[in-house]
Amino acid sequence: MLTLSSTSLTIVAVIGAIGLAALVFAFVLRRQVLAAPEGTAKMQDIAQAIQEGASAYLNRQFRTLALFAVIVFGLLFLLPGDAGIKVGRSVAFLVGAGFSACIGYLGMWLAVRANVRVASAATRPGGRAEGARVAFRTGGVVGMSVVGLGLLGAAGVVLLYRGDAPAVLEGFGFGAALLAMFMRVGGGIFTKAADVGADLVGKVEQGIPEDDPRNAATIADNVGDNVGDCAGMAADLFESYAVMLVAALILGKAAMGEQGLVFPLIVTAIGAFVAVLGVFITRIRGEENGLRAIYRGFYLSALLGAVLAGVAAFTYLPSSFSELSGTADLGDVTSDPRVVAALAVLIGVVLAGIILWVTGYFTGTTSKPTLHVAATSRTGAATVVLSGIGVGFESAVYTAGIIAAAICGVFLIAGGSVWLSLFLIALAGCGLLTTVGVIVAMDTFGPVSDNAQGIYEMSVGEAGDGDPEAAQILTDLDAVGNTTKAITKGIAIATAVLAATALFGSYADAVGGALADITNPAGGLVVSMLDYSIISPITLVGVILGAATVFLFSGLAIDAVTRAAGAIVYEVRRQFREHPGIMTYDERPEYGKVVDICTRDSLRELATPGLLAAFAPIAVGFGLGVGPLAGFLAGAIGAGVLMAVFLANSGGAWDNAKKIVEDGAYGGKGSPAHEATVVGDTVGDPFKDTAGPAINPLLKVMNLVSVLIAPAVVLLSVPEDANHTLRIGIAVVAAGIAFGAVILSRLRAARVDREQMSEEPQAVRTS
């Protein structure tokens, strides 16, 4: 077993202390946010309703997910390996899941209290700068918490398990990724069902503003912003942080030994200082565009991260690979490990900056692609949808090419060594995540400013005596938030691809370790099952199945939003029809009913995509072997990056095209062009906020499941311990669970269609 020197242990302990300090700083920022004024009594009443709805949803979701966590905790004990490692891995799974849940809940809890403070700030002198400061520092709290809990968890495991830490951290990363995926899917279904339902009935059918208090879905829409964008994205970025560390530590141990195990922790600890800098320097100067201020804060923070990582590499790492204790065959690498490590981190940081710019270009309100989408609104909804799809497809190619170029760059500086390349890819991911605190702050800025605009519009209500300047400030902040949300989705996708690629290497390490104990692999079918060659037909089958799983997962998520949104449409229509006093402000809409429908439907729908993600790799691995399972992961990564970028950027372009028209272009609000962009936006909602973001944790969940089961697949496949009956039995059961859930989802969809065609559509799914 690899032993750690006292110097390395001291460094790891200091990193754990930095994690604690990050949590303390998050608490200080939290107090600053909560110290801001809360606005009028009407604003506070609306904010209270949003708080209650968001808390009720997440509490019910966590009770549902607790069952999954307990089941997986027990299943992890069935995997082969040392008893102590199995216990540690299972406990670490619960810790990772718990940390992910805590981050998600914190993101929601603070966002639903910051939104009213941003709305209030807009009504006072200097409201633009103050509102942006409160919104960004709200995200800063969550970002510092991500950094703090990630460092604390990883450093704690390394201190306890030393050289065996990577095996235990597999459980930590798996717990974080699994819970984040469920939160992404469930929160995404909730928020987009409410958003689509509110837009289709309120804007299109009734011709009332987006956040008009007469629309029964407005509270649910604002709740959804928090449980989807805040809680879901915060959990997603935390699991990216955790999973990237897992992959980096596994590959670092193999490539560089002790130093490779500790250096990734040092790089990610630098992220704590980067986040502090980003939070303090990101502020709007006078009438400056908010997006420019956020860009400036991000780029300066990223530059600091790259410089500090380079200093750490030259301080901690030796000057020759011959002085390292790694076990992987690195070939004839003669370069300086300090240089290649620093360059790998730099590539990750530069990649984040380029992705930020490219995503902003394809989704920003002043960029040509989005302006083109807005211009197509003059010819109707169909051309808006077609142009947005075109933007999404094109942007996916450029983004995938940029990520591929970064991976090629890492391969070149590694001198062609595959194992060193995989470790450096993980280091590049760690470099990208030095900016995670700022990335989370940017993402949270979006839903907080969106909620603030909604609270302000609803608080004005019937009187209509709002301050035009305050309304414009909140509209501007909301537009900035739309772009920052799209940008952070792009960066999260890049992180997911790097993490999945690095985990691909971790999978190879797990298979290699299992095969090292096999003395007689035999031939024929067994060799085919162990063959990684892409030219092998059975491995190519795995590639096809991996890509197909991404498509099926995305389809299930979008279809779930479609069904839930249909129920919201019928409910809001029913309230307008049965209570005509709503339109004259004489009756109050039943907001709670819509929140209940969103909650019930999202929790019911989240199981199917989750079961598919967890059991598809088990079915492929035990059914076809470790070679085809490697192909499965490769296919999922390739299809996943293109699909995720396409969905995210199409949705972002549609959303901001709607903002352009609402600001007065092509007839402004209430015009045919506006109606066309609303339709485009409703198509894009489940694209960018449900299916697209959920692909990130999907890739990592499938990779981690594969890493965990690889030794068992090898054990049951080779002649020495072969048990083909058990192996095939496991595959059949796993496939039955995955596709059984899909079939049940289809049957439920058919039942809902029948109910919605009945004579009383308002009774849809009341049981």
What pLDDT does 632 receive? 93
How do the residues of the chain divide into helix, strand and coil, expressed in percent and rounded to 5?
85, 0, 15
Distances (CA, A) of 737 to 72, 127, 404, 553, 632: 14, 53, 34, 15, 18
Q: Is the pLDDT of residue 639 over 90?
A: yes
What pLDDT does 307 receive? 92
User: How crowded is residue 17: how many other Cβ atoms within 10 Å of its Cβ?
Assistant: 14
What pLDDT does 62 receive? 86
| Residue 44 CB partners (closer than 8 Å, separation 6+) | 38, 116
What pLDDT does 311 receive? 93
Can you give the residue range of the structural domain that contains 200? 6-282+290-754
pLDDT in tens, 270-315: 988 888 888 888 877 766 677 788 888 888 888 988 999 999 999 9
What pLDDT does 501 receive? 83
Q: Is the pLDDT of residue 757 over 70?
A: no
pLDDT in tens, 97-130: 999 988 888 888 888 888 889 888 888 887 778 8
Distances (CA, A) of 409 to 333, 340, 345, 657: 16, 11, 12, 35
Mean pLDDT of all residues in 571-593: 86
What pLDDT does 765 receive? 43
Residue 117, token pair as written in the block: 């403070």
What pLDDT does 596 receive? 85
pLDDT in tens, 3-27: 778 888 899 999 999 999 999 999 9
Residue 539 binned pLDDT confidence (cut-offs 50, 70, 90): confident
What pLDDT does 616 receive? 93
How many H helices and E strands in the chain? 23, 0
Total domains in the chain come to 1
First-to-last CA distance in the chain? 57
Residue 182, token pair as written in the block: 């469920």
Rounded Cα gap, residues 221 and 475, in angstroms: 17
Share of the chain above pLDDT 70, in %: 92
Domain-located, residue 703: yes
pLDDT in tens, 735-754: 999 888 888 878 877 776 66
What is the average pLDDT value for the chain, to the nearest integer?
A: 84
Residue 642 binned pLDDT confidence (cut-offs 50, 70, 90): very high
Q: Is the pLDDT of residue 374 over 70?
A: yes
| CA gyration radius, the chain | 25
What pLDDT does 529 receive? 59
Domain-located, residue 766: no
Rounded Cα gap, residues 582 and 407, in angstroms: 57
Quick one: CA torsion of 632, 635, 640, 646, rounded to 10 degrees?
-150
Q: Is the pLDDT of residue 758 over 70?
A: no
What pLDDT does 345 receive? 92
Q: What is the pTM of this model?
A: 0.84
Domain-located, residue 761: no
Place of tokens 């959920």: 694
| Residue 650 CB partners (closer than 8 Å, separation 6+) | 388, 389, 391, 392, 684, 687, 688
What pLDDT does 352 receive? 85
Quick one: CA torsion of 326, 331, 335, 337, rounded to 10 degrees?
-20
What pLDDT does 378 receive? 93
What pLDDT does 761 receive? 47
Domain-located, residue 547: yes
Domain-located, residue 328: yes
3-state SS of 488-525 is HHHHHHHHHHHHHHHHHHHHHHHHHHHHCCCCCCCCCH
DSSP state of 763: G
Mean pLDDT of all residues in 460-468: 64
What pLDDT does 767 receive? 35
Better pLDDT: 405 or 659: 405
User: How crowded is residue 60: how many other Cβ atoms within 10 Å of its Cβ?
Assistant: 15
Residue 766 binned pLDDT confidence (cut-offs 50, 70, 90): very low
pLDDT in tens, 478-494: 878 877 777 777 788 88
What pLDDT does 721 receive? 60
Domain-located, residue 765: no
Domain-located, residue 764: no
Q: Is the pLDDT of residue 515 over 80?
A: no
- Cα torsion angle, 593, 594, 595, 597, sign: positive
Residue 121, token pair as written in the block: 């700030």
Residue 450, token pair as written in the block: 């969106």
Domain-located, residue 760: no
Residue 346 binned pLDDT confidence (cut-offs 50, 70, 90): very high
pLDDT in tens, 225-283: 778 777 877 888 888 888 888 888 888 888 888 888 889 999 989 988 888 888 888 87
What pLDDT does 312 receive? 92
Share of the chain above pLDDT 90, in %: 20
**179, 51 Cβ separation under 8 angstroms:** no
